[in-house]
Chains A and B, each alone.
Chain A
Amino acid sequence: MKTNDVLLRNVTKVVAFIIFLFSLHLFFAGHYNPGGGFVAGLTSAGAITLTLLAYDIKTVKGMLNINTLVITGVGLLFAVGTGFIGIFLGKPFLMHVYTYVHLPVLGKVSLHTATLFDLGVYLVVVGVTLTIIQSIGESD
């Protein structure tokens, strides 16, 4: 029996987007305010999980069209790769560097390699959470 959950789906369309934006906020604000890659990753995964609940796994897979294990792998590559930046600059492994630049719209902004590391964490968390939820959800 298939119930008509049009309300859920429409709310999801809006809410998932807001959650995703919130997770982006958590991610970028992490260095100065509470947040960071881990929580942001979990929140993003939460947004996708909400879509999973409202639709079904096949639909969400069609939307994302990406292997969650690949996301995990790419995240790990980011995390490890950032460590090598320090090595290439003749400094210890995982030594971060940052500079301040003036961007046309945003003004004075700091660019920090720690963000890339955090991005790695973010991707790993998203990938891991989705892998777990999908593999358990698909099993019968």
Chain B
Amino acid sequence: MSLLHVAILLPFIAALLIPLFYRWTKKLHTGWLALPIPVILFIYFLTFIPKTAQKATTATLEWIPRYGINFTVVLDGLSLLFALLITGIGSLVVFYSIFYLGKNKERLNNFYAFLLIFMTAMLGVVLSDNLIVLYLFWELTSISSFLLIGYWYHRERSRYGARKSMMITVFGGLMMLGGFLMLHIMTDSFSIREILSNAPSISDNIFFIPAMILILLGAFTKSAQVPFHIWLPDAMEAPTPVSAYLHSATMVKAGLYIVARFTPLFAISGVWFSVISIVGITTMLWGSVNATKKTDLKAILAYSTISQLGMIMTLLGIGSASLHFDSMNDNIYVMAIVAAMFHLFNHATFKGSLFMVAGIVDHETGTRDIRRLGGLMRIMPITATIAFIGTFAMAGIPPFNGFLSKEMFFESLTEIIHLNLFNLESWGIILPVVAWIASVFTFVYSMMIFFRTFAGKTKPYLLPKKPHEASLGLLAPPVILAAFVVGVGLFPNFIAAPILEPAVKAILPTLSHASSFHIHISFWHGFTPALFMTIGVIVFGILLYKTRRSWIPFISSKVPKAFRIGKTYDNGMFYLEQGSYRLTMYVMTGWLRTYLNYMLFAFIALILGTLFITDSLNFDFANLTQITLVDGVLAAVVFVTLIGIMFSRSRITSIILLGAMGYTISIFFVIASAPDLALTQLVIETISVVLYLLVFYHLPQFSNIEEKPKLFSTKTFLSIGVGVAVTLIALSAYDTTFYDSISKYYIDNVYKEAAGKNIVNVILVDFRGFDTLFETAVLAIASIGIFGMIKLRLTKRRKKNENE
């Protein structure tokens, strides 16, 4: 148990303790209790920055060593980047939520407990080296996210959003578990580091591609890639701090983390490159186009998050091409990975601040609808400034950090055309074109967020509250984030060397041998194609923004009808439920005869199928005894009584014939030299006939209809089938030449060992008395059952009491 383990589990322990402390500190906002934890963790992880630049820190805690499942923590550059984001933005979000959530109105214990559990889960995901432990924390993020989205559980939309996100992310999580298990089958290890070091040896394995697809399904569902993005907009029903933290900065990036983490393993395959790039670019376009038609601030931000995640995913896809080159230093695709990490960081900062701004606007005006907002710039100048920084960074405008990462994005994309891998000469051009279009739309919705909220005329008559500037506590966290946006934009190398470089080295392990590798992000790098692309984005973006009234109605009415993924999900869930309900109602009729038909049909199919498939139909009549006349007569009697039972119109005839058959069987026992059986059969047959007659006598009058059985029906065919199957089995199994009977032992030892001469009785009470013991128990239970059923009629008595 090292300090790193404590660091991961600290928020979880705090989540358990906070509700206890809350009792004694009722005057204090619970958030103040929660705040120190992420702050301490943030400072703790900051101390790792110099260490991690050299080598990764590892620590192991044994959990289930026999199966190779240990809580192994590895802190390398990639993990550290995520850990800093999680704890850093976590601190700001906790601070923000103290002022955002009312102390008396909300169930703060639940909120902070869920949030801290989420923090543990997220730290566990990014720091775990063991696949199973990673999966454990992965599902914990899904569960805590579910709890946080459904925080206002009295709202129908919250419950719907929580359920939807749970269904989709848990689906992906389970797929990912399958992928992990396949990795384990291939490499016999659960350790990510070991698996990565085995990468070349498993690339030919048949499980390689399935494992990749399954793991990618997990990553895509979590990171809201098309078509699994549909849960993210509905997750906006969560409180705004949750949206800022989970659904923009941390959890949705868990999928990106997985993709980055497994890049050295899977990037060998072209499938990885194509799937990630295509899904990423599609997501980017889809998210940015859809964001423009939304009118709710958080919905725009949700689609914007989807789009930006798609962009990072695309960069990771392009970056995976770098593994196909030997020299790493002049490899432009490494820059794609750098851009991915850089944009991941940038996105966390500006999207976090934008969500907080949306929360402030909601908090101070009472609405998030941009059709009702406007002109808030004069009323809320600080919020407007933060929003300005955030939206312009998102649009990719200098001097903010979004500009730099977007430039690097374009640069990698223009480079992709020259890549002569995976047939990219033919379709590679699509990527930069689509990315450019998506960037134009990104520009448009960024402008919409800022100008429609803060510029123009105020519409006080449309606002539920009288707007005023937010309190300092609400403003401080987004200000800090905005400071990062500007700071990193102006001095990008401030974070490049200590944080981004180890992260990129962690993604591309071969790179760490190249000692000359250094990231230098230059603000101005000459008149490159990427710069012209950015200028084009701005020009076309402004044009589109000015003319938005003419085209937004088109995409909000025409486009979604063609691709209604959310609707497909709803219909899917509906028909799944309906279908299973109908199937159950169809199969489970409640009629005993239906179930009997199923069982008998299965019996016939299995028996006959097995007989014919294994070709075990062999009749050997060599050992048969001679058939005597008595046998024939008795068989004829049995046959006639059988026919009589089946076709008799009255039940009493059937009962009598059944008795006749029983007595005939006892005569069979007599001629087969089984006197004990004959005796018992006679007595038992008598008793059961008496009991049948008793039951017959007590049949209620109204149901006493004597029906004639139909000759041709399912029942007939099933009966014939069962008869044929059993007969065939009996005939095939009659050949007993495989081994000798054990009865010789009984015959030899019945007097010597057991001092008896009636071999049947000696077997019953001595050789195999254990069976007899429990058969007597069965009889006793049956009699007590009958006694109980007849004597204890509680329902009747209760009814009588009620009547009195």
Interface set of A (CB-CB < 8 Å, partner B): 26, 30-39, 42-43, 46, 68-69, 72-73, 75-76, 79-80, 83, 93-94, 96, 98, 110, 112, 114, 117-118, 120-121, 124-125, 127-129, 131-132, 135-136, 138-139
| Interfacial residues of chain B within 224-270, with CB under 8 A of chain A in the complex | none
Interface SS of chain B: helix
Query: Do B780 and A128 touch across chains, with their CB atoms under 8 A apart?
Result: yes
| Interfacial residues of chain B within 757-804, with CB under 8 A of chain A in the complex | 757-758, 760-762, 764-766, 769-770, 772-773, 776-777, 779-780, 782-784, 786-787, 790-791
Interface set of B (CB-CB < 8 Å, partner A): 675-676, 679-680, 683-684, 687, 691, 694, 754-758, 760-762, 764-766, 769-770, 772-773, 776-777, 779-780, 782-784, 786-787, 790-791
Residues of chain B within 8 A (CB-CB) of A112 are: 755-756
- Apart from A112-B755, A114-B765, A118-B765, what 4 extra A-B contacts exist at CB < 8 Å? A69-B787, A72-B780, A98-B754, A114-B756
**A137's closest neighbor in chain B, by CB?**
B694
Query: Do B783 and A36 touch across chains, with their CB atoms under 8 A apart?
Result: no
Residues of chain A within 8 A (CB-CB) of B787 are: 69, 131-132, 135
Query: Do B776 and A34 touch across chains, with their CB atoms under 8 A apart?
Result: no
In Å, the complex CA distance between A90 and B762 comes to 22
Task: Kindly identify which residue among B679, B684, B687, B755 contacts A35, using a CB–CB cutoff of 8 Å.
Answer: B679
Residues of chain B within 8 A (CB-CB) of A131 are: 783-784, 786-787
Residues of chain A within 8 A (CB-CB) of B782 are: 128, 132
Given A94-B769, A110-B755, residue A75 in contact with residue B776 (CB < 8 A): yes
**B694's closest neighbor in chain A, by CB?**
A136
Query: Do B779 and A125 touch across chains, with their CB atoms under 8 A apart?
Result: yes
Residues of chain B within 8 A (CB-CB) of A34 are: 675-676, 679, 758, 760
Q: List 16 A-B contacts (CB under 8 A).
A: A31-B755, A34-B760, A36-B760, A36-B765, A42-B684, A42-B687, A72-B783, A72-B784, A73-B780, A94-B773, A110-B755, A114-B765, A114-B766, A129-B687, A132-B691, A135-B787
Residues of chain A within 8 A (CB-CB) of B791 are: 135
Query: Do A135 and B773 touch across chains, with their CB atoms under 8 A apart?
Result: no
In Å, the complex CA distance between A75 and B784 comes to 14
In Å, the complex CA distance between A124 and B774 comes to 11
**A112's closest neighbor in chain B, by CB?**
B755
Query: Do A124 and B755 touch across chains, with their CB atoms under 8 A apart?
Result: no
Query: Do B754 and A96 touch across chains, with their CB atoms under 8 A apart?
Result: yes
Query: Do A35 and B761 touch across chains, with their CB atoms under 8 A apart?
Result: yes
Residues of chain B within 8 A (CB-CB) of A135 are: 786-787, 790-791
Query: Do A117 and B765 touch across chains, with their CB atoms under 8 A apart?
Result: yes
Residues of chain A within 8 A (CB-CB) of B772 are: 79, 117, 121
A129 to chain B, nearest CB (A): 7
In Å, the complex CA distance between A129 and B780 comes to 9
B666 to chain A, nearest CB (A): 12
Residues of chain B within 8 A (CB-CB) of A73 are: 780
A122 to chain B, nearest CB (A): 10
Residues of chain B within 8 A (CB-CB) of A136 are: 691, 694, 786, 790
In Å, the complex CA distance between A127 and B761 comes to 20
**Interface pairs A-B: 10 shortest CB-CB:** A34-B675, A128-B783, A31-B756, A32-B757, A131-B783, A36-B761, A124-B776, A42-B683, A128-B779, A135-B790
**A120's closest neighbor in chain B, by CB?**
B776
In Å, the complex CA distance between A36 and B763 comes to 11
Query: Do A127 and B780 touch across chains, with their CB atoms under 8 A apart?
Result: yes
Query: Do B790 and A139 touch across chains, with their CB atoms under 8 A apart?
Result: yes
Residues of chain B within 8 A (CB-CB) of A83 are: 769-770, 773
Query: Do B779 and A39 touch across chains, with their CB atoms under 8 A apart?
Result: no
Task: Kindly identify which residue among A30, A43, A76 contacts B758, using a CB–CB cutoff of 8 Å.
Answer: A30
Query: Do B683 and A46 touch across chains, with their CB atoms under 8 A apart?
Result: yes
Residues of chain A within 8 A (CB-CB) of B684 are: 42
Query: Do A38 and B780 touch across chains, with their CB atoms under 8 A apart?
Result: no
In Å, the complex CA distance between A33 and B756 comes to 9
Residues of chain B within 8 A (CB-CB) of A96 are: 754, 765-766, 769
A118 to chain B, nearest CB (A): 5
A31 to chain B, nearest CB (A): 4
A52 to chain B, nearest CB (A): 12
Query: Do B780 and A76 touch across chains, with their CB atoms under 8 A apart?
Result: yes
A51 to chain B, nearest CB (A): 16
A77 to chain B, nearest CB (A): 11
Residues of chain B within 8 A (CB-CB) of A120 are: 776
Task: Kindly identify which residue among B755, B764, B777 contacts A36, using a CB–CB cutoff of 8 Å.
Answer: B764
In Å, the complex CA distance between A91 and B587 comes to 54
In Å, the complex CA distance between A58 and B762 comes to 39
Task: Kindly identify which residue among A46, A121, A124, A128 contacts B765, using a CB–CB cutoff of 8 Å.
Answer: A121
Residues of chain A within 8 A (CB-CB) of B779 are: 72, 124-125, 128
In Å, the complex CA distance between A112 and B766 comes to 10
A50 to chain B, nearest CB (A): 12
In Å, the complex CA distance between A30 and B755 comes to 12
In Å, the complex CA distance between A138 and B790 comes to 9
Query: Do A69 and B784 touch across chains, with their CB atoms under 8 A apart?
Result: yes
Query: Do B762 and A31 touch across chains, with their CB atoms under 8 A apart?
Result: yes
In Å, the complex CA distance between A110 and B766 comes to 15
In Å, the complex CA distance between A50 and B791 comes to 23
Query: Do B755 and A98 touch across chains, with their CB atoms under 8 A apart?
Result: yes
Residues of chain B within 8 A (CB-CB) of A36 are: 676, 758, 760-761, 764-765
In Å, the complex CA distance between A90 and B578 comes to 64
In Å, the complex CA distance between A136 and B787 comes to 8
**A129's closest neighbor in chain B, by CB?**
B687
B320 to chain A, nearest CB (A): 69
Task: Kindly identify which residue among A93, A94, A124 contacts B780, using a CB–CB cutoff of 8 Å.
Answer: A124
Residues of chain B within 8 A (CB-CB) of A42 are: 680, 683-684, 687
Query: Do B765 and A37 touch across chains, with their CB atoms under 8 A apart?
Result: yes
Query: Do A121 and B776 touch across chains, with their CB atoms under 8 A apart?
Result: yes
In Å, the complex CA distance between A63 and B675 comes to 33
Query: Do A31 and B757 touch across chains, with their CB atoms under 8 A apart?
Result: yes
In Å, the complex CA distance between A117 and B791 comes to 30
In Å, the complex CA distance between A97 and B586 comes to 60
**Which of B770, B782, B786 has the most CB atoms of chain A within a 10 A radius of its CB?**
B786
Residues of chain A within 8 A (CB-CB) of B780 are: 72-73, 75-76, 124, 127-128
Residues of chain A within 8 A (CB-CB) of B754 are: 96, 98, 114
Residues of chain A within 8 A (CB-CB) of B766 are: 96, 114, 117
Residues of chain B within 8 A (CB-CB) of A68 are: 783
**Which of B755, B756, B765 has the most CB atoms of chain A within a 10 A radius of its CB?**
B765
B502 to chain A, nearest CB (A): 70
Residues of chain B within 8 A (CB-CB) of A114 are: 754, 756, 762, 765-766, 769
In Å, the complex CA distance between A124 and B683 comes to 16
Task: Kindly identify which residue among A37, A38, A127 contacts B783, using a CB–CB cutoff of 8 Å.
Answer: A127
**B779's closest neighbor in chain A, by CB?**
A128
